[in-house]
Amino acid sequence: MDSSEKMNRTEISALGKVAFVDRLTRPFATSADPRIRQGIGDDGAVIDRGGDRLEVICQTTMLEGIDFDLTYTPLEHLGYKLVVAALSNLCAMNAQAEYLTVSAGLSARFSVEEASALYDGIKRAVDTYGLALIGGNTSASLTGLTLAATAIGSATADELTLRSGAAENELLCVTGDLGAAYMGLQLLEREKRVLRGNGVSRPEIGKEHAYLLERQLKPEARVEVLRQLNGEGIKPSAMIDITRGLASAALHLCRCSGVGARIYLNRIPIASDTFKLAEEMHIDPVVAALNGGDDFELLFTAPLEKHRELLAMPGVDVIGHVVPASAGAALVTPDGGEIRLQAPDWTAREEG
């Protein structure tokens, strides 16, 4: 029926995820449509319809077994997180979110009440962030719960921030703290292992870990920080959201901007709760920050002259600076040594 039967077989892992996504999307890289201001390759696409605002469109998927585990993820939180994940992409474009479509593939074991809990969470997030859910569909699924959301927003040409705008000598900044969601996940996974087989369906975890769990199960999007930056007259030159760890985000930003970066290891913001649990579990908290997922923080670059304002701003840390592409992307250790920045390969999603 087609020629695919005799196809060669190259494993995705052999090619590497960046090259793989590039191979899939390269044929779509150019378009004759002058209204496309940004196509594939950023947190969202940007269309210029000729009005005073550009339209920004971001698509996000969350798949059972990869992006969440229903044994310990309350469905209401999952619905909320789906919206946050979609919204976080719009934040990374410095765009204002407006509309959302959500499609859910529900397995047969789902009850009406469970599906309702999922949509209650979506509703709560939509209300919290002032969005409107305008479409999508609900279907049966044989293959676990699958969620897809498209967030649509807008930004003026001045506001719009791409991954590609970073320039040499600019400051590299990050919002919030990193690695907490990853440690929350480790906690849930540990409890799952402990409780497996004894009939208790949801782990009980001590109150001292509330912050880590909240960061994993009910993250928020960094809308407020963008308002602060705007209030201070600071326009990020490049931005990306940190959903698969700082390392992956920094490498994407460097590649899209054609620059390198130096990130000072001891400036990466890590919460004390993250440190404590990482120590207890024999995990390097810096590795959690670099490679852990689901933080939904923002990595951005800003002009050097805004150094003082950025240092004074709550919820923002200056973690390094932009260097020429030839110098590459590296971590700087406290003793001044350099470690080449690397991201884990094709394991979960590729941000496309």
Closer residue to a second copy (CB): 103 or 228: 103
Closer residue to a second copy (CB): 136 or 328: 136
**82, 124 contact by CB (below 8 A):** no
Residues in region 196-235 near a second copy by CB under 8 A? 201-202, 213, 217
Residues in region 14-33 near a second copy by CB under 8 A? 14-15, 20-21, 23-25, 27-28, 31, 33
Residues in region 232-291 near a second copy by CB under 8 A? none
**72, 202 contact by CB (below 8 A):** yes
Residues in region 57-76 near a second copy by CB under 8 A? 57-61, 63-67, 72, 74-76
Residue of 15, 28, 29, 27 lying closest to 256 (CA atoms):
29
Closest separation between CB of residue 239 and a second copy, Å? 16
- Indicate the SS3 state at residue 142: coil
User: Across the strands, what pairs with 151?
Assistant: 58, 100
Residues in region 309-338 near a second copy by CB under 8 A? none
Closest separation between CB of residue 193 and a second copy, Å? 17
Q: Which of 71, 116, 228, 342 binds a second copy (CB under 8 A)?
A: 116
Q: Which of 256, 328, 344, 346 binds a second copy (CB under 8 A)?
A: 346
Is 156 among the residues that bind a second copy (CB under 8 A)?
Answer: no
Is 36 among the residues that bind a second copy (CB under 8 A)?
Answer: yes
Q: Which of 18, 48, 71, 133 binds a second copy (CB under 8 A)?
A: 133
Closer residue to a second copy (CB): 103 or 164: 103
Q: How far apart are CA 303 and CA 166, in angstroms?
A: 9
Residues in region 171-190 near a second copy by CB under 8 A? none
Q: How far apart are CA 242 and CA 177, in angstroms?
A: 11
Site mask for a second copy (CB under 8 A), range 76-95, x = bound? xx------------------
**322, 170 contact by CB (below 8 A):** yes
Q: Please report where in the chains the tokens 């884990």 appear, as a residue.
A: 344
Q: Which of 96, 141, 228, 342 binds a second copy (CB under 8 A)?
A: 141
Write the single-letter amino acid at 26: R
Write the single-letter amino acid at 156: T
Write the single-letter amino acid at 14: A
Residue of 197, 150, 148, 185 lying closest to 68 (CA atoms):
185
Closer residue to a second copy (CB): 15 or 287: 15
Closer residue to a second copy (CB): 28 or 156: 28
Closer residue to a second copy (CB): 134 or 311: 134
**291, 344 contact by CB (below 8 A):** yes
CA 89, 100, 44 angle in degrees (round to 5)? Answer: 30
**266, 198 contact by CB (below 8 A):** no
The dihedrals phi and psi of 153, each to the nearest 5 degrees, come to: -145, -165
**How many CB atoms neighbour CB 65 within 10 A?**
10
Closer residue to a second copy (CB): 101 or 128: 101
Is 303 among the residues that bind a second copy (CB under 8 A)?
Answer: no
Closer residue to a second copy (CB): 58 or 225: 58
